[in-house]
Amino acid sequence: MSGNTFGTLFCVTSFGESHGTAYGGVVDGCPPGLALSEADIQKELDRRKPGTSRHVTQRQESDRIELLSGLFEGKTTGTSIGFVIRNEDQRSKDYSALARTFRPGHADYTYWQKYAIRDHRGGGRASARDTMIRVAAGAIAKKWLRERYGVEVRGYLCQLGPHPIELKSWEGVNANPFFSPDPDIVPVLEEYMDALRRDGDSCGARVTVIAQGVPVGWGEPVYGRLDADIAAAMMGINAVKGVEIGAGFQSVSQRGSEHGDELTPEGFLSNNAGGILGGITTGQEVVVNIALKPTSSIRLARRSIDTEGKATTVQTTGRHDPCVGIRATPIAEAMLACVLMDHALRHRAQCGDTSPPLPPIPGKPSRS
């Protein structure tokens, strides 16, 4: 299987399966001299890990990272940063009934058709547990971006099923199990999720992730566009079916007089472009929205076929997230941070000696 590495200069490679011994990752391209510890990465992994509330899968995993290489005396050496995260709470018997059937909406059928063999336990390589590796790599990227350029990457859940969520304050985002920026709506979300679990069903979600303090000039024209790489990275997250940069699909109903972000000596007047023009950052906030589909593993009986092509029905038991979007915020943050660090290094390599002819103008914050 190829396709286990992403990035150009800041590269992330992962390996592992949901019910295997461990997941592992290799991060290449991190510059030397960055102070880094397991604790720096663990705090991000703890935001993503399962079993943190009744609204997510009850699989009990510590997701404890073990750094294996790339550090000396607490700092990165510029060599490959290798690490493993061991699986601790597999229940492979929960998936025995799926050995000869395919779950609708899951990767079971496509993996079987492509490889003629598949690990049916928890989805194998298609499991969302692989996102641990991206979150770990993103923790490194976040720290480097913050210390080197003052860039902050953060996100929040902006819609759960039919419930839109307003950004009232960043302060409470990490203080509730939904990454909700509106603490007042949390009881509504909890009631909705409790009813969803009782029904044996699932729902989708939408997550917003924003990078603040991004300098002007990151990204490359045509085939190295920053927005294209962001879109590819976000679509690489399990269950993501849509990506918007800036106004996204709302731009369809906008007029040009409304959508084009006007410039003044004092700064941009809007940010419909999401901080990227021509694939290159404007110096404004980079704003990304992702849509995550409803979890495919549900208790309700669904029509499918077995490995002999015969009609059957599938009911998925075991431990699953009724909404994968609830734990997606730190994953989306990590992917954006990794892409931004990759482009920061690419920009430094080609244009490190150039200076913008004009001082960068301030950007209008798209969120408070």
Q: What is the pLDDT of residue 368?
A: 42
Report if residue 363 sits inside a domain: no
Q: Per mean pLDDT, which of 111-115, 122-126, 210-214 is the most reliable?
A: 210-214
168 vs 160, 193, 199, 206, CA distance in Å? 16, 22, 31, 16
pLDDT per residue as tens digits for the range 213-266: 999 999 999 999 999 999 999 999 999 999 999 999 999 999 999 999 999 999
Report if residue 319 sits inside a domain: yes
Q: What is the pLDDT of residue 61?
A: 73
CATH code, 325: 3.60.150.10
What band does 366 get if pLDDT is binned at 50, 70 and 90? low
pLDDT per residue as tens digits for the range 308-350: 899 999 877 666 678 999 999 999 999 999 999 999 999 999 9
Report if residue 176 sits inside a domain: yes
Domain count across the chain: 1
Report if residue 118 sits inside a domain: yes
How far apart, in whole angstroms, are the C-alpha atoms of residue 299 and residue 314?
Answer: 8
Q: What angle do CA 153, 156, 161 make, to 5 degrees?
A: 150
Report if residue 360 sits inside a domain: no
- Among 330, 340, 336, 343, smallest CA distance to 131 is for 330
Report if residue 359 sits inside a domain: no
How far apart, in whole angstroms, are the C-alpha atoms of residue 335 and residue 329?
Answer: 10
Report if residue 285 sits inside a domain: yes
Report if residue 309 sits inside a domain: yes
Question: Cβ distance 246 to 292 under 8 Å?
Answer: no
| pTM assigned to the model | 0.93
Question: Cβ distance 328 to 290 under 8 Å?
Answer: yes
Question: Cβ distance 282 to 216 under 8 Å?
Answer: yes
Domain range for 46: 5-351
